[in-house]
Chain A
Amino acid sequence: AQSVTQLDSHVSVSEGTPVLLRCNYSSSYSPSLFWYVQHPNKGLQLLLKYTSAATLVKGINGFEAEFKKSETSFHLTKPSAHMSDAAEYFCVVSLSGYSTLTFGKGTMLLVSP
């Protein structure tokens, strides 16, 4: 079985400051890990994915995440927040080779001017 824990339900940052959204995972086998973003009234959009290649994964819109097996973490970062980054972010785990996704409860990112 696999699961993800998003450590913060809400994160508030000022525009131009760094973003850190934390995620820990649990998986019996080699996992695939994803971050999805959900803007209000829009579908989920894939930001980035880790599938056992490079541990530092670069995604769209300047986001990146680092897979740390020893810490079972997959935190999402961005050096400088934009107002348009305000949305809900989901950390997701899947067993490699299977297509069922297990979502965390989400972290709402709030960006103030």
Chain B
Amino acid sequence: ETGVTQSPTHLIKTRGQQVTLRCSSQSGHNTVSWYQQALGQGPQFIFQYYREEENGRGNFPPRFSGLQFPNYSSELNVNALELDDSALYLCASSLAAGWGANEQFFGPGTRLTVL
């Protein structure tokens, strides 16, 4: 069984640029959630995708957007990068939305640095 993988592992961008982060979900999982973990903080929920549709969103501006593909892999896109976007971005997959779905399996994360 393949776990959750994320790419790239590290990324450096400058303010105003755009970035795309990628996630492959665990085999058999159809739900992907993205979290932002700033230094010294717990992860914060960005949004979730279930069967290619957004299925919930946290308190993040519209310049944070995402996609889920038919194979359930996912992308997180951030436009107009700001210094405060520097963080570890975590992807988590789970079996399905709804009851019992809240056991999520996390990838190792992508460390984004915005200069």
Establish whether residues A43 and B99, one from each chain, have CB atoms under 8 Å apart when the complex forms: no
Chain A, 33-51, contact with B by CB distance < 8 Å: what is the 0/1 string? 0101000011111100101
Nearest-neighbor residue (CB-CB) of B95 within chain A: A99
Q: Which residues of A contact B103 (CB under 8 A)?
A: 34, 46, 49
Nearest-neighbor residue (CB-CB) of B50 within chain A: A99
CB of B80 within 8 A of chain A?
Answer: no
* CB within 8 Å for A43 and B102 given contacts A99-B94, A100-B45, A103-B44: no
CB of A102 within 8 A of chain B?
Answer: yes
Nearest-neighbor residue (CB-CB) of B111 within chain A: A41
Interface size class of B (residues with CB under 8 A): 20 to 34
One of A57-65, A66-74, A90-98 contacting the partner: A90-98
Establish whether residues A105 and B99, one from each chain, have CB atoms under 8 Å apart when the complex forms: no
CB of A101 within 8 A of chain B?
Answer: yes
Q: Which of B4, B35, B41, B103: most chain A Cβ within 10 A?
A: B103
Establish whether residues B33 and A99, one from each chain, have CB atoms under 8 Å apart when the complex forms: yes
Taking A43-B107, A103-B35 as known contacts, 6 extra A-B pairs with beta carbons closer than 8 A to each other, sorted by chain A number, are A32-B102, A36-B106, A99-B48, A99-B56, A99-B101, A101-B43
CB of B73 within 8 A of chain A?
Answer: no
Establish whether residues A41 and B102, one from each chain, have CB atoms under 8 Å apart when the complex forms: no
Residues of chain A touching chain B, judged by Cβ–Cβ distance below 8 Å, are 32, 34, 36, 41-46, 49, 51, 90, 94, 96-106
Chain B, 41-64, contact with A by CB distance < 8 Å: what is the 0/1 string? 111110010000000101000000
Establish whether residues A42 and B42, one from each chain, have CB atoms under 8 Å apart when the complex forms: no
Please measure, in the bound complex, the distance between the C-alpha atom of A96 and the C-alpha atom of B102, giving whole angstroms.
8
Q: Which residues of B contact A43 (CB under 8 A)?
A: 4, 90, 106-109
Establish whether residues A100 and B33, one from each chain, have CB atoms under 8 Å apart when the complex forms: yes
Please measure, in the bound complex, the distance between the C-alpha atom of A32 and the C-alpha atom of B100, giving whole angstroms.
9
In the complex, how many angstroms separate the beta carbon of B24 from the nearest chain A beta carbon? 13
Chain B, 79-109, contact with A by CB distance < 8 Å: what is the 0/1 string? 0000000000010101001111111111111
